[in-house]
Amino acid sequence: MGSDERKQELFGKMKEGVIEYDEDQVVEAANALVDEGFDAYEGIMDGLAAGMEVVGELFDSQEYFVPEVLMCADALYAGLDILRPKVDMAGREAVKGEVVIGVVEGDVHDIGKNLVKMMFEVAGFTVHDLGADVPIDEFVEKQINTNSDIVALSAMMTTTMMGMKKAIVKLKEKNPDVMIMLGGAPVTGEIADMFGADGYSENASNAVSEAIKMVAALRKM
């Protein structure tokens, strides 16, 4: 079997493993990829992320629901754990950008945030994760300290949503060029618009499919 054929076979196995949420298959293929000296970055993009792209389609067509996506994400993560340390950064363009991400103060729901975070990482961003229940000033401070391009705010509860508006005002005040993404169950496009955000995801699962689409776009770059 030719080397390229073998490489495609392993990519296919990783992709299928992510789609079928078969963590063992992903791990096996990722290890083989590393052992046989193939490029880890390609494996992440054309194997793992390609699989997650299909998961996004299955989610959009309501073939998959939140539980399947979460298990797919775990399978992807297992592969990422193996491949990420092997990525040869020297030969690559510098990272795509930096992101500050967190769940705003008063909220501890962070599954959606973690999914978006992972997709940012897969796409080659440097992610500064502030965790959950984060005071607004911390977002502002972190953005300034890291000069991040994007600030992604998440809130799952209506009560904490209002905190987002304050955050956006403060962030834009300090740095008008920063791009702000909103996510979380209570956020609608109208609200995001009203608050002056640049992008939004309707809920945690849509945030997933939005993030997946973003990765798809990045793969084509």
Partner 1 sequence: MIEELALDCGADVLGFGDVSEALPPGFAHLPVGISVGMANAQSPGGAARYDHRDVEIQSALDEALREIAAFLRLRGYRYFCCPAECDPMESPFTARMAHRFSHKAAATCAGLGWVGRNGLLIHPELGPCVSWATVVTNAPLPLGDPWTEGECRGCMACAEACPAGAISGKGWRRSQGMHRLVDADRCRDSLDTVERETGARVCGRCALACAAVYRGKGAADRKQLALNWSNL
H or E element, residue 100: strand 97-103
Residue 11 sits in the site that holds partner 1 (CB under 8 A):
no
Binder to partner 1 among 53, 110, 129, 210 (CB under 8 A)?
A: 110
Q: Rounded to an integer, what distance in angstroms lies between the CA atom of residue 85 and that of residue 83?
A: 6
Binder to partner 1 among 48, 115, 122, 123 (CB under 8 A)?
A: 115
The one segment of 49-57, 111-119, 133-141, 150-158 that binds partner 1 by CB under 8 A: 111-119
- Which residue lies nearer to partner 1 by CB, 175 or 206? 206
Q: Phi, psi (5° rounding) for residue 73?
A: -65, -40
On whether the CB atoms of residues 106 and 157 are closer than 8 A, the answer is yes
The one segment of 40-48, 71-79, 149-157, 209-217 that binds partner 1 by CB under 8 A: 71-79
Residue 74 sits in the site that holds partner 1 (CB under 8 A):
yes
Binder to partner 1 among 6, 12, 16, 20 (CB under 8 A)?
A: 20
Residue 116 sits in the site that holds partner 1 (CB under 8 A):
no
Cβ neighbours of 188 (radius 10 Å): 14
- Which residue lies nearer to partner 1 by CB, 33 or 72? 72
Residue 118 sits in the site that holds partner 1 (CB under 8 A):
yes
Task: Look at the chain and count its residues.
Answer: 221
- Looking at beta carbons, which pairs linking 31-39 to residues 24 or more positions away fall under 8 Å? 31/82, 33/7, 33/83, 34/82, 34/83, 34/86, 36/6, 36/10, 38/7, 38/10, 39/88
By CB under 8 A, the count of residues binding partner 1 is: 17
Q: Per-residue x/- marks for partner 1, 200-219, CB under 8 A? A: -----x--------------
Q: How far apart are the first and last CA of the chain?
A: 30
Residue 77 sits in the site that holds partner 1 (CB under 8 A):
yes
On whether the CB atoms of residues 155 and 184 are closer than 8 A, the answer is yes
Interacting residue ranges for partner 1, rule: CB under 8 A = 20, 22, 65-68, 70-71, 73-74, 77, 110-111, 114-115, 118, 205
